[in-house]
Amino acid sequence: MASNLVVGFLAIFSIILLLAGTSDAWLRKPHFYASSCPNVEQIVFNTMKQAVSKEPRMGASILRLFFHDCFVNGCDGSVLLDDTPTSQGEKMAFPNRNNSIRGFEVIDAIKSNVEAACSGTVSCADILALAARDGVQLLGGPTWNVKLGRRDARTANMTLANLNLPPGNAPLSNLTELFARQNLNIREMTALSGGHTIGFARCTNFRDHIYNDSNIDPNFAATRKASCPRPTGTGDFNLAPMDIQTPNTFDNDYYKNLVAKRGLLHSDQELYNGGSQDSLVKMYSTNQALFFQDFAAAMIRMGDLKPLTGTNGEIRNNCRVIN
């Protein structure tokens, strides 16, 4: 009798939490869509495979898009919203503008394919989380179970995007504080920074580092200067690989570059500059399996940031606009 009462109480309590729209991560699970959209993960993977095969850089772009989503009010798909005459999105925030974040058309394609299979069921926030994981895996990186069940935000926040996203010239203390705001510790910060083992950056984001910093290999600086002239406004959008060795492969070369003082951004090299993260960077540079393990765990933790669940938010029909 007592056991039946306990079971009944727990069931009622779970329903109350669900109706309240609690954001507790344990309400989400990797198989959230097992009945409502059983093929969603395969659909996302197949579409990402096509996109990455066409342009390997897209794996990095989608990973960056997910990061920039999660650091602004949590992983709620708000970064995907376009500006409207009555509301401002996050795409024109300083860290995001001038095509600094990209890949929206890939998310659109995934959403279209998912909608064709199971209309009005899978959130754009979940699609982005899955696509980020798949992009990493397709470029040779680790995989992990993505908790699902997020819902989409109805609003965006440009102010928080400007405040919360780490700039490329940030010192270690600022990086640590920005990650701490998201309840991510310094080891998770260093592991997540390893996402810079893929992708490219614009000259305007690393110009100061290659011309003004002393903690940089001179030969590496000279290589980068060849396509990034010193005068501001000249070659600002010229691209350089974040990882000079294997820019389209997810590996631990990023950390090897830091040890050799060949980090592209000032904020990258801050992780190995006589500070608290030097020893961890060295460990990752010689132990790719450890990096992969920590990166996957940190991605799961980042994916838990303030998810909208229950009746909060919505399931957008179009990732760029609210319903």
Residue 8 tokens, joined: 């009944």
166 annotated ligand-binding residue: yes
196 annotated ligand-binding residue: yes
74 annotated ligand-binding residue: yes
Calpha distance 146→125 (Å, rounded) = 12
Query: How many CB atoms within 10 Å of residue 257?
Result: 25
In three-state secondary structure terms, 151 is strand
159 annotated ligand-binding residue: no
Query: How many CB atoms within 10 Å of residue 85?
Result: 4
Torsion on CA atoms 115, 309, 147, 108, rounded to nearest 10 = 30
243 annotated ligand-binding residue: yes
134 annotated ligand-binding residue: no
Active site residue 266: no
Torsion on CA atoms 181, 184, 186, 187, rounded to nearest 10 = -170
What are the residue ranges of helices labelled H in 139-277? Answer: 158-164, 172-180, 186-193, 203-212, 218-225, 253-259, 266-269
Which one is catalytic: 31, 68, 209, 266?
68
Query: How long a stretch of residues is the chain?
Result: 323
72 annotated ligand-binding residue: yes
106 annotated ligand-binding residue: no
197 annotated ligand-binding residue: yes
232 annotated ligand-binding residue: no
- Which parts are annotated binding residues for Ca(2+)? 69, 72, 74, 76, 78, 90, 197, 243, 246, 251
* Residues of the binding site for heme b: 196
Residues making up the annotated binding site for substrate are 166
Binding-site residue set: 69, 72, 74, 76, 78, 90, 166, 196-197, 243, 246, 251
Active-site residue numbers?
A: 68
